[in-house]
Structure 1
Amino acid sequence: MHALFLTIAAVLAGAAVPFQGGANAALGRALGHPLWATLASLAISAICVIPVLVAIRAPLPLISSLTAQPKWVWIGGVAGVVYITAAILLMPRLGAAGFMTAVIAGQVVASLIIDSVGAVGLAARPVDITRLTGVAMVMLGAVVIQWPGLSKM
């Protein structure tokens, strides 16, 4: 039951993502540049997180503990900027389904690579034919969703 609850929570979190992309694309048009929309989106994220941190009385982080961490721990912020900006630029052109399936395909391929080598602090997980078949199916799904638009490119 625990795994089912976590899976449902992940699906619901994923369902929010296309709304984020569409809203940020509209925000980019309103602000005149996609990077302004990226900055605004990240600022709103901070504005939403700060009261929660205060409400749950999360202790302040120890800056000294960061110096011992590998430099790749900061890549999440960079990845966030890349993703938000890509959504702003690409979702209006590809549509929500086209953009999201392409994003998911990229996520699954990168995740398989991360798992195979145990990158970013995760335990290594072997790549087998079942996992490769799943990745191929996701990639095929991304192509099928885009198929009508591919003939126009």
Structure 2
Amino acid sequence: MNYFSWLALLAGAAIGIQAGMNAQLGVLLKSPLLSAAVTFIVACCCVLIVVAITTRQLPSLTSVQSVPLHLWFSGAISAFGVASFYFLIPRMGVGPMMSFALTGQLLVAMLVSHFGWFDLPIKPISFSKCMGVLAMVAGIVLINRA
């Protein structure tokens, strides 16, 4: 595994820990939406600090204006996903929730890659990828078996 693979593994682990922590925050605050708001405020502050430290030049106004309108709304998708995690984890548990969430992520990621949406590299769906999805679904059935 290379550096990027390890970083991706750590990012996934961080999401698993963060989801459980913020779900508990939502339970204690009696609002998964408030928990999501707190999460995004803290995350925004952290990212702004890193941007301030590492960014040498901000994008030009022309660059900002050239961004397609739909890309500015990805935060709404994040808010839905994060708030859904915090709502569902206390009801389902972290393991089952993450197994379903990961399945949704991988299925959509395969479609995004297959069609090259958002100008990303095209990676066609293959037989081996389909077999991997079937193995993953079988794993989810086993993980969530009572």
Normalised to the residue count of structure 2, the TM-score between the two structures is 0.90
Q: Which amino acid aligns with 2:87?
A: L
Segments ≥4 residues shifted beyond 4 Å? none
What is the CA–CA distance in structure 2 between the aligned matches of 1:106 and 1:100, rounded to whole Å? 10
What is the CA–CA distance in structure 1 between the aligned matches of 2:135 and 2:73, rounded to whole Å? 28
1:113 paired residue number: 111
Shift of 1:75: 4.0
1:34 paired residue number: 32
Instruction: Say if 1:102 and 1:142, in contact at 8 Å, map to a contact too.
Output: yes
- SS of the aligned residue for 1:147 comes to coil
Percentage of pairs with the same residue? 27
Residue pairs, 1:22-101, within 5 angstroms: 22-101=20-99
Long gaps (5+) in structure 1: 149-153
Aligned length: 146
What is the CA–CA distance in structure 1 between the aligned matches of 2:62 and 2:73, rounded to whole Å? 19
More divergent stretch after superposition (102-111 vs 25-34): 25-34
Q: Which amino acid aligns with 2:68?
A: P
Long gaps (5+) in structure 2: none
What is the CA–CA distance in structure 1 between the aligned matches of 2:30 and 2:113, rounded to whole Å? 39
